[in-house]
Amino acid sequence: MNANPSILIVDDEQVVRDSLSKWFKEDGFNVSSAAGAAEALQQLQGQKWDILLLDIKMPGMDGMELQQRIKEIDPTATIIFITAHATVDTAVKALKEGAFDYVTKPVDPDYLSHLITNALKQRSLVSENLKLKEQISEFSKADEIVGDSAQIQKVYELIQTVAKTDTTVMIRGESGTGKELIARAIHSNSSRRYFPIVAVNCGAMAEGILESELFGHERGAFTGAQYRRKGKLELADGGSLFLDEVGNIDTKTQMDLLRVIETKQFARVGGNDIIKVDFRVICATNKDLEKAVADGTFREDLYYRLNVFSVFIPPLRERKGDIPLLANYFMQKYSRAMGKQIASISPEAMDTIVRYNWPGNVRELENAIERAMVVGKPPEIRPEDLPYQLTERNHILPSGSMAAVEKAHIISVLAQNRWNISRSAEILQIDRVTLYNKIEKYGLKKPSAG
């Protein structure tokens, strides 16, 4: 309860206004009263009231209409009708239109006292709930998707587009590209964000184990099942179910999963009770599912159920412009976590990092930076702090077209020279204007400070 909750009493009878004002003042409330709707609306312009007690029958604008006007000014207002003219119809109408409660004069003092206490408690819970939701939204924004490249911007756009819907999403990409991160971003930006996202790594579990993991089991369902256990499907109720490595699910579980996705109901292993669930499916795979369907190892109907909206995350070697940003991001992350005063990556080390092909994608980059932070010494990460394979020249040439090689080389030189255009142009043996044109052509952006 607030220190001094406020109550506005609106009633055309002065004796009612006076006696209620007196009653609430003895409880330490900040009380004011109004003889009619116009006066009440005027008082609402000046300040916010915790509770409004409204009479229904008043000359001019009645209490029901006044409630509508009040809700336009302050949608969070807690309104209690207190009237001598009680009918079931008006009570139902008042409550439907958002009144907290409805009491008839004369009201039992104990009831009125409890009513006010409950109304204040509810206001306090609503306000607390709003604050917590704001906090969750803040957390949602602070995800770890880092990158300025056109490819990653496209991924951002897709996330924003699909997050607001309840569509099933298939995330494709090589191992280590951050598919779970994208799944979490979709969930965090969806209306289901106040419920959990439950991740299941379908590739890491044997056939029977995955079934029990997804559907749960009843006591005695199989040897060792001593207790009833809820499955991931039940845990994801209201939220999102993230099926990682969905291409690795065995044929039987594929069929069971298809049925759950279609009917949103299932029974635990060894049980008969039907459990209804409501979740959104987000799945990820690095496998060629189309080929698996053609080979007959992945059910075609499940494939179409899952592959409604597809998000492709390009491998890191195809968005080299993001590498310095990501490297700096991970350096700062581990600097904070380890409490180590390493604040930069030397130009030589950055050159090595940018030129490497990163077959393990962002995960490999993160591991490399984490290792460098462990072995490195302040104030910066040097080439010798990086894992051995990065310095092997066999791995550092970008694959593909001449343009890809040129782009990678320009990024490397810019990184080495901390984006000093004159110096970089000199090393590249081109003029500054040409370098600017190439930067624009390849969509390169200077990494943010740090």
Q: How many CA atoms lie within 13 A of 23 on its CB side?
A: 17
Q: How far apart are CA 425 and CA 413, in angstroms?
A: 9
Task: Tell me how far apart the terminal alpha carbons of the chain are, to the nearest angstrom.
Answer: 46
Q: Pairing between strand 280-285 and 380-381?
A: unpaired
Contact 409, 439 (CB under 8 A): no
Query: Closer to other proteins at the Cβ: 58 or 342?
Result: 58
Min separation Cβ 96 and other proteins, Å: 25
Query: Closer to other proteins at the Cβ: 106 or 220?
Result: 106
Min separation Cβ 70 and other proteins, Å: 20
Query: Closer to other proteins at the Cβ: 57 or 230?
Result: 57
Q: How far apart are CA 123 and CA 252, in angstroms?
A: 50
Backbone angles phi, psi at 92, to 5 degrees: -65, -45
Min separation Cβ 41 and other proteins, Å: 22
In angstroms, the Cα distances linking 392 to 305, 326, 349, 383, 385 are 44, 21, 13, 12, 14
Query: Closer to other proteins at the Cβ: 84 or 255?
Result: 84
- Which stretches of the chain bind other proteins, using CB under 8 A? 13, 15-16, 18-20, 22-23, 25-28, 82, 105-110, 112-113
Q: Looking at the chain, how many residues does it have?
A: 450
Q: How far apart are CA 253 and CA 258, in angstroms?
A: 8
Min separation Cβ 27 and other proteins, Å: 5
Query: Closer to other proteins at the Cβ: 26 or 89?
Result: 26
Q: How far apart are CA 103 and CA 84, in angstroms?
A: 9
Query: Closer to other proteins at the Cβ: 14 or 437?
Result: 14
Contact 184, 325 (CB under 8 A): no
In angstroms, the Cα distances linking 38 to 59, 69, 72, 353, 399 are 11, 10, 15, 70, 75
Classified as helix, coil or strand, 263 is helix
Interior angle at CA 360, CA 356 and CA 362, nearest 5 = 85
Min separation Cβ 81 and other proteins, Å: 13
Query: Closer to other proteins at the Cβ: 28 or 379?
Result: 28
Min separation Cβ 58 and other proteins, Å: 15
How far does Cα 194 stand from its chain's mean position?
8
Min separation Cβ 166 and other proteins, Å: 47
Q: How far apart are CA 385 and CA 373, in angstroms?
A: 8
Min separation Cβ 3 and other proteins, Å: 11
Task: Pick the closest to residue 386 from 416, 431, 354, 343 (CA basis).
Answer: 354
Query: Closer to other proteins at the Cβ: 104 or 434?
Result: 104
Q: How far apart are CA 346 and CA 380, in angstroms?
A: 6
Query: Closer to other proteins at the Cβ: 107 or 145?
Result: 107
Query: Closer to other proteins at the Cβ: 8 or 112?
Result: 112
Min separation Cβ 49 and other proteins, Å: 18
Min separation Cβ 102 and other proteins, Å: 14
Contact 37, 60 (CB under 8 A): yes
Q: How far apart are CA 383 and CA 392, in angstroms?
A: 12
Query: Closer to other proteins at the Cβ: 18 or 301?
Result: 18
Burial 339-364 (b: 16+ CB within 10 A, else e): eeebebbbbbbbbbbbbbbbebbbeb
Task: Pick the closest to residue 77 from 102, 57, 48 (CA basis).
Answer: 48
Min separation Cβ 280 and other proteins, Å: 46
